Structure 1
Amino acid sequence: MKRTLIGTAVTIGLVVPLAVAPVARAAALPAEPTPAAVDAYLGEVMESTGLPGMSAVVTHGDRIVHAAGYGRDSEGGPVTARTPMRVASVSKSFTAMAVMTLVDDGRISLDEPVAGQLPGFRMADPRAAGITVRHLLNQTSGLSDTTVDIGAAQKAESLAGYVSALGTGTLTAAPGTRWEYCNVNYDVAARLVEVAGGRGFGDHMRERVFGPLGMTGSTVDDRVVTPSRGFNALYGTWVARSELSGFHAGGSGGVVTTAADMGRWLIAQTGRTGPGGRTVTPESLKIMHTPPAGRGYAMGWGEEELDGTGLLVHSGNLFTYTAVQAIVPETRYGFAVMTNSAALHDDTYDVLAGLVAMSRGRTPEVPGGDRQAYELVLGLVAAAAAGLGVLGVLRARRWARGRAGGRRRWIVARLLPALLPVALFAAYPDLISFLSNGRTVTWEQLTYFAAPLTITLAVVAAAGAVTAAVRLVRLRSVGSSR
């Protein structure tokens, strides 16, 4: 979503080409990554990106190559490999694992309708009766932010209430015919885990997923493990903020974990048995890692190629935290990068790319400068707009005198350039939702990681509105004096 917002800025002409593009620095390293080499690379990343805090882990086969934290949290303490981090949509692969534990137990059937296994799951669209559990986990159910009452669902105080709130919703397509990313799929799946498993979703995760893998610092209940506040970037400054409510519960994005625990999780993706036993069978793990033909997404993992390396990967973006995980089936490497911040540019994927390069014996590029460049341009645009607004007000009388007595249509046409930013700002959330493939985006959400873009748009719109209003007042004053 963050890359979409950057694209939006380009579309409306706020981000313009820079005279000098940020130059990536290279870190020298041996042919194969060592803990010292990975640590040195991540240290350079922190320096070049200016991130407030980051934790990361690299695994290979059944061992952790390196797990560490860098920077600080919102309380000023050091970020370590055991610092709790929200991982947002990375949680989906954990929820899929929870479902598969019950598939292995014979309590959930992947290819039977959800409605027959989850009492209370009913929708206004009769096609919903054909949604299977596999459809939910592969994001092919037909569920969409655009056709369900997301606001009502997010206000629910339990997963049962969440599912009930979907009753008036419809589907965008028949189940199994179209892929569309939608958090609702995984929150419904979490409720199914509760019903089939006979206990709360958090309890099931602790006893059947986190526990067997030895992930003692992980939870889906942030009252048990509470992360510190995250950060948002604001024109080059990091501002500590509490996470937006309603977006970190349930199966779509509720996991709180650590770099150390993510190491154990990534090792489990190779089929290794955890200290508390196996979570799912090898057959179920293979199902989780195998997208349907032509889809490229399976149960919280998406297929992707990065510089010739085939990955299974998933990112996660909340409003003050960002994360990404990946595994390389060919080499059995695993990676996770987590930050306690969110901005217009997501650095976690760039860091992941560097770690993948290291695992291939290549020299990684050290990312940095993109976020600062975007925010610098936005800041300059906001300052220029404010200056032009002041100038427009000061010259309003001269403008009015030059157009007094002119035709009304001509005068309105001359005011349109000043009013266009107002119209654009009014449509801002809808525009972002459209560019985000229908994902619901609200004004409140746009005050978080998109804050620099939102403030710049507001300044541009305010300058245009004030200029147009003062010109009209001056025009009326000049007309009445004649």
Structure 2
Amino acid sequence: MRITLIGAVVVAVALCGSVGVTGQAAQAAQAAQATHAEPTSAAIDDYLREVLHDTGLPGLSVVVTHDDRVVHAAGYGESSDGTPVTADTPMRIASVSKSFTAMAVMTLVEDGRIALDRPVADQLPGFTMADPRAGAVTVRHLLNQTSGFSDTTIDVTALESATSLAEYTSGLAPGTLAADPGTHYEYCNVNYDLAARLVEVASGRSFDEYLRERVFRPLGMTRSAASARVVQPADGYNSVFGAWISRPELPGFLDSSGGGGVITTAADMGRWLISQNGDGVQLVSPEGLRTMHTSSTVDEYAMGWIPEGGTLLHSGNLFTYTAVQGIVPGTGYGFAVLANSASLQDDTYDVLNGLIALSEGRQPESLGGTRQLLELGLGLVTVAAVALGVLGVRRSARWARRRAGASPWRVGVRFVPLLLPAVAFTAYPDLISVLTNGRTVTWEQLTYFAAPLTIAALVVALAGVATAVARLLRLRTTVH
């Protein structure tokens, strides 16, 4: 899931940044444009080294494929234990996992063990919901995210305590739908976690085992799994006012999650991208591949892929990892960008666009400064709030003397601006949920990649409360 919580703020800051061309990468792009040649591994490497320098990311692993070949696969920076990031460094890819879940389902569809257009309830014992409309949800609805499932009508936080996909499925019983199946698109991880359980029931294997046996192993993806017990990713990072802090992943992330459980490497992703472009080892028929790449009749979302122009994309954002993949069927190129970090600014998508530009002989835009500028602004807000809070407390006696004879109503109005930030902060997760189209957001999540925003909001709220309390105490003393 690409969950940059304050996307609007990030975009606003990004628009203020300069748009230019990286040095060596620009020269490489000009040369490629002139000859229409495939960018060399060296040219891609120059671009990525400049990206790492300009963005300040702690680590990055990237693969670029063309037709049936890997053009470039490498890692940059370091992991949280100080070891260099390479093309073989395992990282979580979050919602990029959804395309793998869709592939697992499609292999079983073509084996005749899952039917795309039959109700899930007919194929998955134990799946019931309080809403009778759930009986009409088909497998296709799950993969197209048109089932009617929504974070607003299902307690997805409670589901995080499940220890298996079977328990997860039974936990859906009290949930309801937000719309009739097949009529409305809404991004919800429940769709793909339920699809993963369907894979387990249809195959008789755990979801992780099935992925490894029927998807990863045939493609040669030897360092990929959907369980940290099989492939252990290093801890990732969060950026806190410009400092990268190593953090363990949030607890409660379900092993074998179909919505975001895959752990893989850039090298393995290269094999996946080649197959997705119709070359190399094929796991399903050409028609099955086209089905997964085709938008539903309700929204552009396909099955773990989002068509944008001539490109198929999907990004992912966990709390210490970000990732994005893309294929361009018209040119045969494939791209994957994996980062062992998460912050208010997700650079992986912009890196992928830069790689696409290189593949087309165009000049990639520079990426540096957005995260740094955003966090600098939030840092200045935090410092200013502390200063104003201290000043407000120190001047509270003077403020109280001036208003000793005023009516209570007039005095009360003066407290409103001071307390509004605190009121807003109590509703902080709900406000962020609104910005993310109803996705469930918890307080704990907001201490991860949104940490600078959370700290700034908390300090502003505390400064207002401290000033209000000091003024109220002084006012009572003055009156009496």
2:216 counterpart residue number: 210
1:261 counterpart residue number: 268
Secondary structure (helix, strand or coil) at the match of 1:411 reads helix
> CA contact under 8 A between 2:5 and 2:450: conserved in structure 1?
no
> CA contact under 8 A between 1:64 and 1:263: conserved in structure 2?
yes
What is the CA–CA distance in structure 2 between the aligned matches of 1:104 and 1:271, rounded to whole Å?
17
Instruction: Trace 1:62-461 onto structure 2 (pairs within 5 A).
Output: 62-247=68-253, 249=255, 250-274=257-281, 278-305=282-309, 310-461=310-461
What is the CA–CA distance in structure 2 between the aligned matches of 1:444 and 1:4, rounded to whole Å?
13
> CA contact under 8 A between 2:64 and 2:71: conserved in structure 1?
yes
What is the CA–CA distance in structure 2 between the aligned matches of 1:359 and 1:342, rounded to whole Å?
26
Secondary structure (helix, strand or coil) at the match of 1:390 reads helix
Following superposition, the deviation at residue 150 of structure 1 comes to 1.1
Secondary structure (helix, strand or coil) at the match of 1:297 reads coil
TM-score, length-scaled by structure 2:
0.95
What is the CA–CA distance in structure 1 between the aligned matches of 2:14 and 2:249, rounded to whole Å?
33
Q: Report the AA paired with residue 240 of structure 1.
A: S
Q: Report the AA paired with residue 288 of structure 2.
A: S
What is the CA–CA distance in structure 2 between the aligned matches of 1:160 and 1:188, rounded to whole Å?
9
* Per-residue CA distance 1:223-247 (angstroms, 9 max, x = gap): 1110110000000100000011223
Q: Report the AA paired with residue 47 of structure 1.
A: H
What is the CA–CA distance in structure 2 between the aligned matches of 1:100 and 1:232, rounded to whole Å?
36
Secondary structure (helix, strand or coil) at the match of 2:158 reads helix
* Per-residue CA distance 1:422-464 (angstroms, 9 max, x = gap): 0111110000011111100000000000000000000000000
What is the CA–CA distance in structure 2 between the aligned matches of 1:53 and 1:422, rounded to whole Å?
36
Secondary structure (helix, strand or coil) at the match of 2:244 reads strand
What is the CA–CA distance in structure 1 between the aligned matches of 2:363 and 2:14, rounded to whole Å?
28
Sort the Cα spacing of 1:92 and 1:349 in 2 relative to 1 into closer, same or farther, 3 A: same
What is the CA–CA distance in structure 1 between the aligned matches of 2:444 and 2:420, rounded to whole Å?
23
Sort the Cα spacing of 1:103 and 1:448 in 2 relative to 1 into closer, same or farther, 3 A: same
Following superposition, the deviation at residue 25 of structure 1 comes to 3.6
Greater CA drift, 78-87 or 360-369: 360-369
* 1:21 to 2:17 alignment: yes
* Per-residue CA distance 1:86-129 (angstroms, 9 max, x = gap): 00000000000000010010000000000000001100000000
2:6 counterpart residue number: 5
* Per-residue CA distance 1:291-323 (angstroms, 9 max, x = gap): 123511111000113xxxx21100000000000
Sort the Cα spacing of 1:298 and 1:6 in 2 relative to 1 into closer, same or farther, 3 A: closer
What is the CA–CA distance in structure 2 between the aligned matches of 1:473 and 1:128, rounded to whole Å?
57
Following superposition, the deviation at residue 271 of structure 1 comes to 2.0
Following superposition, the deviation at residue 23 of structure 1 comes to 4.8
Following superposition, the deviation at residue 363 of structure 1 comes to 1.3
Q: Report the AA paired with residue 405 of structure 1.
A: G
> CA contact under 8 A between 1:24 and 1:368: conserved in structure 2?
no
Following superposition, the deviation at residue 24 of structure 1 comes to 3.5
Q: Report the AA paired with residue 327 of structure 1.
A: I
What is the CA–CA distance in structure 2 between the aligned matches of 1:237 and 1:201, rounded to whole Å?
37
Q: Report the AA paired with residue 5 of structure 1.
A: I
> CA contact under 8 A between 2:163 and 2:254: conserved in structure 1?
no
Q: Report the AA paired with residue 417 of structure 1.
A: P
Secondary structure (helix, strand or coil) at the match of 1:186 reads helix
> CA contact under 8 A between 1:399 and 1:471: conserved in structure 2?
yes
> CA contact under 8 A between 2:313 and 2:325: conserved in structure 1?
yes
Secondary structure (helix, strand or coil) at the match of 1:47 reads helix
Q: CA RMSD in A?
A: 1.5
> CA contact under 8 A between 1:9 and 1:453: conserved in structure 2?
no
Sort the Cα spacing of 1:188 and 1:383 in 2 relative to 1 into closer, same or farther, 3 A: same
> CA contact under 8 A between 2:160 and 2:254: conserved in structure 1?
no
Q: Report the AA paired with residue 295 of structure 1.
A: D
Sort the Cα spacing of 1:210 and 1:9 in 2 relative to 1 into closer, same or farther, 3 A: closer
Sort the Cα spacing of 1:372 and 1:8 in 2 relative to 1 into closer, same or farther, 3 A: closer
Q: Report the AA paired with residue 290 of structure 2.
A: K
What is the CA–CA distance in structure 2 between the aligned matches of 1:294 and 1:146, rounded to whole Å?
20
> CA contact under 8 A between 2:10 and 2:345: conserved in structure 1?
no
Following superposition, the deviation at residue 366 of structure 1 comes to 2.6
Consecutive unaligned residues in structure 1, runs of 5 or more: none
Secondary structure (helix, strand or coil) at the match of 1:168 reads coil
Following superposition, the deviation at residue 17 of structure 1 comes to 9.8
Secondary structure (helix, strand or coil) at the match of 2:6 reads helix
Q: Report the AA paired with residue 172 of structure 1.
A: A
What is the CA–CA distance in structure 1 between the aligned matches of 2:177 and 2:84, rounded to whole Å?
46
TM-score, length-scaled by structure 1:
0.95
What is the CA–CA distance in structure 2 between the aligned matches of 1:432 and 1:106, rounded to whole Å?
43
Sort the Cα spacing of 1:302 and 1:460 in 2 relative to 1 into closer, same or farther, 3 A: same
* Per-residue CA distance 1:373-430 (angstroms, 9 max, x = gap): 0000000000000000000000000000000021111111011111111011111000
